[in-house]
Structure 1
Amino acid sequence: MKKTIYIISSLFLTLAMQGQIIPQPKATASPTIKIGKSNNFELKNGLKVMVVENHKLPRVSFRLSLDNMPYAEGDKKGVADITSQLIGSGTTKTTKDAFNEEVDFLGANIGFDANGASASGLSKYSGRILELMADGALNTVFTQEEFDKIKAKMLEAIKSQEKSITAVAGRVENVLTFGVNHPSGEYLSAESINKVTLQDAVSNYKNNFVPGNAYLIIVGDVKTKEIKKVVEKLFGSWAKATAPQITYPDPKNVPQSQINFVDMPNAVQSEISVVNTVNLKITDKQYFAAILANQILGGGGEGRLFLNLREKHGWTYGAYSSIGYGKYVEKFRSSTSVRNAVTDSSVVEILNELKKIRTELVSADDLKNAKAKYIGNFVMQIQKPATVARYALNTETQNLPADFYENYIRSINAVTVEDIKAVANKYFLADNIRILVVGKGTEVAPALENLKMPMFYFDKFGNPIEKPVFKKDIPKDVTFKSVLDKYIVAIGGEKAVKAVKTISMKGSTTIPQAPSPLSFTSKADSKGKLNVELAMGTMSLMKQVVNETGAYVLQQGQRKNFEGSELAEMKSSAVLFEELNLSKKEGISLDGIENFNGKEAYAIKNGKNTLYYDVASGLKLAEAKTMEQGGKSITQTTNFGDYREVKGVKVPFNIIQNVGFELDIKMSEVTINEGVTDSDFK
């Protein structure tokens, strides 16, 4: 059965192509920056308080920050995450709902996490806002009911990421860079979360949510003398304690540059990251040169990586770099997502850009533009209370000079092109880089091997493995026709399949940031008509129709009629079971046996499309379709699962399509030969 959801894919791919490069601001005379000085005092329990008075607006912001050392959680990774979400979910004085109602009444914002709390609002309510924040942070009631809700949501989120290429790439990158036993290298799993108990969260809170390394930063329309009394009243009873001090060996870079590969057979594109660790402190003399060098290389749409991989070659939607800095070892990385066919070429171009910035002086204009962007952003951000609070905290916790931020622009402007080259050689390594590629091994690995670099293989959790067998030989008695025939038999047999005249499917799905689930409806008949619709409540978001006279899509109130090759493609997709006639079509071939989501699958090539059939069951697992979108070649995979029998024919009750994220559609109702009329396709 062919249910390729072109309407959904076209929407999200069109939105993805609309990214624009933001013009660089023109350099002007450097403004004079004055940052409010903080009035500091310390409570007997060790809580350090910094007050920055600013009476321009009748507003105030509070930030309670715990500057504890990072720690690994071992086989109970997830304790801190759960604790973070439990904090503030009801206190000994008020319920969660009553707390939230009063926050809304005051027009305030209050939030909590494992590293502290934050609040903001009108200064006339400052006392009550701080009281609510202190109550939520210090008097949280940890209930089993709330714990179970949070745990269930986390487990569901992990399950949804099992097939996410981006999620796997991020996890493996940290495991390999820092080590699985390092705070920055360990990862959440269903196994680790299931081991966490409510008592673990309570213990974590008691041991780590303490005032010993805590800072309370207050910025806004308050008077230090008055607010000091309020702080002493609200936080003075916080029991004196210091969080455990745990140290870890610094992670090491690889002894030689190498490619690390993770096979994801369902990948429609490759995730590439070129990584090495860095130990860059804000107090280092080369700090400003380092952040500017990163800006020139890949700090945005005007960075060299972006201009090379996207603007010049059209291989990706974006390519960027970042450099970490602070009290602990961080990483420098260059990254992008590209289609499989250009994975090796993209690796080469990233390495070329890294070599170029290490060996050649950047132009004066490049440096000038990078400085202009940093200074512009700095001037804009300095107006925000949250920024002032962060700078005040950095000054204390990172041992910065008192005038560090007042001299920030002067320090940026002092960087030379020679400085850029020097820091690029120090922090953008040449001989000790890890090139991590997560992608489809059958299409990517051979070309990467031709780069003649050491290549090592890992599973989806960063464990080293032997080189996988990406494609197996096909048994002599298996042909593409026998695979298609086996599929027809698997879903019910030719007689039962040919008896299907209409199929109606109803289901639901979710998309990021959507306020509620979306409803999915699909109706199709054996005459080549199709109606697919995605709606939010009564509002139709997208609707695609194929009928006797043509095909069109309705999207955001706009109708587009398909013509030419697009119309032909739409009509070819509007069939119930393409396998009935596919063996008679020219250009069909059996390409091999591949690993697909942990199962061996026959891969059948149908022009630019690839169909995957489970070797064991015969059921269709997926269809990978290559299309042109915005002048770029895009491969999109639709996965089929949870087959159930309806009137003697097995149909998938789960369809997952990658549209920049995984659109997971679960069917609640599927009917055959009922519920579909000609009027559905008007």
Structure 2
Amino acid sequence: MTVATRPLPGPPRPYSFPAFKRTALAGGARLLVAEVAKLPIVSVTVVIAAGAESDPAGKEGLAQLTARAMVEGTSSSSALALAGRIEKLGGVIDSDAGWDSARINLTCLSKHLEESLDVLGEILTSPSFPENELDRLRDERLAEIEQIRSEPRGLAEEAFTEFVYTAGERYALPPGGTRESVSALSRQDVAHHHAGLYSPGNASIVIAGDVSLGDAARMIDRAMSGWTGATRKRAYVSAAPAPAGPRALLVEKGGAAQSELRIGHAGIPRSHPDYFPFSIMNAALGGVFSSRINLNLREKHGYTYGAHSIIDWRKAAGPFVVSTAVGTDVTADAAREVLGELERIREEEISTDELSLVVSYLQGVFPIRYESTAAIAGALANLVTYDLPEDYYDTYRDRVGAVTTADALRAAREHIRPEALRMVVVGEASLLDKLEQMQFGPIDVRNET
């Protein structure tokens, strides 16, 4: 019998990330422009250093509410009027805040860029934060919270982050805030947050599309001439992990058809020098379909339709987590297999075949991620947010290819810490006995029925 072997991947096709230029604008904001003239489209992203990490204690969700409210009305235009003006120009605009920045995104035809920037300038210089729009946005977030808490998957995600970080840390709570914190947010809170952080000195504007640096700077300086405000140095979020020592949490959810399982701990910051070795190691562990964890739980044991591991890259150390959903009767067995794979990735180097597979995958999908002007602008926004080097995207594939099996092993040994692991299970109360038999560590129990 002839056994087929997987063909070796060929060399990655040549690719160059679009060249970009920088300049300082008259008001103090920084401008990055990648001139991409293949289509008459331009994407603009305004990056403000005002992400969820800037939320004051007790006002979690303020950054997100403020960012979303930016496009909901100005001193001279209602939300409906703003949307109508952008639609007439064939554009789209939205705003939101993640952990590390708030962003306003605009995409339009290049022939309408100047008029579209006028709308964007009005949004940046004179947002009005109407009470009725804030009430709607607040209600939408509260409804989202209730939806998340009603589903085992969402419940597991929030319970895990809360369990991984020390109580009271910003990272222990969702970026959009909790039911209690969001309900208490006022228009005064939003206006104060905006006044303190939404200034040109805290902003970068990135543009990708059919426009030159000079033309873009001229249009923005004119459209945003009224944008002022003092630059306030923000304090970075405190993200202390939970005290060391393996510990489990069982969230009892009566009637759950299966268990949601999460195992992990606080990871490493985006700026860590082991970003590439950790990324390669994680891809082999649980980041691609043929990863160890997925092949083990799905293909070998048939416990699940899919299992994966990720690290949520942030300025501070975001969570590293293995996630899956399994049948109630195999929950403890699946957890043992995950723990075994975490130990194995620390004990032995990944094979050269595993390394080749994940490297070729990461190198191959890289160009596909940046086929649109919006995607290119988003990449440049990340470059600004995380202070990445100028040549980051040009050297990305080379740096991925430079990681060795020894590098991946070192990253696993240094950054996967068995003594810090936390396990969260959302499922039937009857799971407690089997989890105790694992002798993983102390078990906390919470009822969410």
TM-score (normalizing by structure 1): 0.61
Matched, 1:374 2:362: yes
Matched, 1:327 2:315: yes
Identify the match of residue 46 of structure 2 among 64, 69, 82.
64
Identify the match of residue 278 of structure 1 among 267, 286, 289.
267
Amino acid at match of 2:429: G
Who is 1:246 aligned against?
Answer: 235
Who is 2:150 aligned against?
Answer: 163
Who is 1:77 aligned against?
Answer: 60
Who is 2:37 aligned against?
Answer: 55
Matched, 1:209 2:209: no
**Secondary structure at the residue paired with 2:254?**
coil
Distance across 1 between alignment mates of 2:249 and 2:179: 25
Who is 2:3 aligned against?
Answer: none
Who is 1:316 aligned against?
Answer: 304
Distance across 2 between alignment mates of 1:158 and 1:225: 45
Who is 1:33 aligned against?
Answer: 15
Matched, 1:198 2:187: yes
Matched, 1:256 2:245: yes
Amino acid at match of 2:344: K
Who is 2:105 aligned against?
Answer: 118
Distance across 2 between alignment mates of 1:244 and 1:438: 40
Distance across 1 between alignment mates of 2:146 and 2:315: 34
% of aligned pairs identical?
Answer: 26
Unaligned runs of 5+ in 2: 1-5
**Secondary structure at the residue paired with 1:420?**
helix
**For this pair of structures, how many residues does the alignment match?**
437
Amino acid at match of 1:409: R
CA deviation after TM superposition for structure 1 residue 312, in Å: 1.8
Distance across 2 between alignment mates of 1:447 and 1:319: 21
Who is 1:662 aligned against?
Answer: none
CA deviation after TM superposition for structure 1 residue 244, in Å: 5.0
Please tell me whether the aligned partners of residues 35 and 406 of structure 1 are also in contact (alpha carbons under 8 angstroms).
yes
Q: Tell me: CA distance 1:158–1:391, structure 2 relative to 1, closer, same or farther (3 Å).
A: closer
Q: Tell me: CA distance 1:177–1:45, structure 2 relative to 1, closer, same or farther (3 Å).
A: farther
CA deviation after TM superposition for structure 1 residue 281, in Å: 3.5
Amino acid at match of 2:416: F
Which of 42-51 and 344-353 deviates more? 42-51
Distance across 1 between alignment mates of 2:283 and 2:238: 30
Distance across 1 between alignment mates of 2:272 and 2:335: 33
Which of 319-328 and 251-260 deviates more? 251-260
Identify the match of residue 43 of structure 1 among 2, 25, 32.
25
Distance across 1 between alignment mates of 2:209 and 2:126: 26
Who is 2:411 aligned against?
Answer: 423
Who is 1:145 aligned against?
Answer: 132
Distance across 2 between alignment mates of 1:388 and 1:250: 30
Please tell me whether the aligned partners of residues 44 and 105 of structure 2 are also in contact (alpha carbons under 8 angstroms).
yes
Matched, 1:437 2:425: yes
**Secondary structure at the residue paired with 2:419?**
coil
Please tell me whether the aligned partners of residues 25 and 373 of structure 1 are also in contact (alpha carbons under 8 angstroms).
no
Distance across 2 between alignment mates of 1:394 and 1:196: 28
Q: Tell me: CA distance 1:325–1:148, structure 2 relative to 1, closer, same or farther (3 Å).
A: closer
Please tell me whether the aligned partners of residues 61 and 220 of structure 1 are also in contact (alpha carbons under 8 angstroms).
yes
Identify the match of residue 400 of structure 1 among 388, 396, 399.
388
CA deviation after TM superposition for structure 1 residue 156, in Å: 3.0
CA deviation after TM superposition for structure 1 residue 333, in Å: 0.9
Which of 292-301 and 96-105 deviates more? 96-105
CA deviation after TM superposition for structure 1 residue 253, in Å: 5.0
**Secondary structure at the residue paired with 2:260?**
strand
Please tell me whether the aligned partners of residues 261 and 438 of structure 1 are also in contact (alpha carbons under 8 angstroms).
yes
CA deviation after TM superposition for structure 1 residue 130, in Å: 1.7
Distance across 2 between alignment mates of 1:65 and 1:401: 17
CA deviation after TM superposition for structure 1 residue 248, in Å: 4.5
RMSD value, Cα: 2.3
Distance across 2 between alignment mates of 1:304 and 1:119: 40
Unaligned runs of 5+ in 1: 1-23, 461-595, 598-682
CA deviation after TM superposition for structure 1 residue 255, in Å: 2.0
CA deviation after TM superposition for structure 1 residue 378, in Å: 0.5
1:194-593 aligned at under 5 Å gives the runs 194-243=183-232, 245-282=234-271, 284=273, 286-442=274-430, 444-459=431-446
Distance across 1 between alignment mates of 2:441 and 2:61: 35
Who is 1:661 aligned against?
Answer: none
**Secondary structure at the residue paired with 2:171?**
coil
CA deviation after TM superposition for structure 1 residue 447, in Å: 0.6
Please tell me whether the aligned partners of residues 91 and 107 of structure 2 are also in contact (alpha carbons under 8 angstroms).
yes
Q: Hey, which of these two has a bigger chunk of helix by percent?
A: 2
CA deviation after TM superposition for structure 1 residue 163, in Å: 3.1
Q: Tell me: CA distance 1:45–1:178, structure 2 relative to 1, closer, same or farther (3 Å).
A: farther
Distance across 2 between alignment mates of 1:63 and 1:147: 23
**Secondary structure at the residue paired with 1:32?**
coil
Q: Tell me: CA distance 1:363–1:64, structure 2 relative to 1, closer, same or farther (3 Å).
A: same
Please tell me whether the aligned partners of residues 68 and 243 of structure 1 are also in contact (alpha carbons under 8 angstroms).
no
Q: Hey, which of these two has a bigger chunk of strand by percent?
A: 1
Distance across 2 between alignment mates of 1:154 and 1:67: 22
Distance across 2 between alignment mates of 1:435 and 1:239: 47
CA deviation after TM superposition for structure 1 residue 287, in Å: 1.9
Distance across 2 between alignment mates of 1:157 and 1:325: 23
Q: Tell me: CA distance 1:68–1:189, structure 2 relative to 1, closer, same or farther (3 Å).
A: closer
Please tell me whether the aligned partners of residues 268 and 318 of structure 2 are also in contact (alpha carbons under 8 angstroms).
yes
Please tell me whether the aligned partners of residues 44 and 208 of structure 2 are also in contact (alpha carbons under 8 angstroms).
yes
Q: Tell me: CA distance 1:383–1:253, structure 2 relative to 1, closer, same or farther (3 Å).
A: same
Higher RCO, 1 vs 2 (CA within 8 Å, ≥6 residues apart)? 2
Distance across 2 between alignment mates of 1:249 and 1:369: 37
Q: Tell me: CA distance 1:247–1:54, structure 2 relative to 1, closer, same or farther (3 Å).
A: closer
Distance across 2 between alignment mates of 1:416 and 1:169: 34
Distance across 2 between alignment mates of 1:75 and 1:401: 35
Identify the match of residue 108 of structure 1 among 91, 102, 110.
91
Q: Deviations over 1:233-277 (max 9, x none)?
A: 122321132245224444135422232322223433222111111
Please tell me whether the aligned partners of residues 246 and 442 of structure 2 are also in contact (alpha carbons under 8 angstroms).
no
CA deviation after TM superposition for structure 1 residue 328, in Å: 1.3
Amino acid at match of 2:329: A
Distance across 1 between alignment mates of 2:272 and 2:413: 19
Q: Deviations over 1:43-83 (max 9, x none)?
A: 34431111111222211110101134612443333333332
Who is 1:86 aligned against?
Answer: 69
Q: Tell me: CA distance 1:248–1:106, structure 2 relative to 1, closer, same or farther (3 Å).
A: closer
Amino acid at match of 2:296: N
Please tell me whether the aligned partners of residues 116 and 137 of structure 1 are also in contact (alpha carbons under 8 angstroms).
no
Please tell me whether the aligned partners of residues 217 and 389 of structure 1 are also in contact (alpha carbons under 8 angstroms).
yes
Q: Tell me: CA distance 1:341–1:75, structure 2 relative to 1, closer, same or farther (3 Å).
A: same
Matched, 1:173 2:173: no
Q: Deviations over 1:332-381 (max 9, x none)?
A: 11111112111100100001111121112212111111011101110212
TM-score (normalizing by structure 2): 0.90
Amino acid at match of 1:154: R
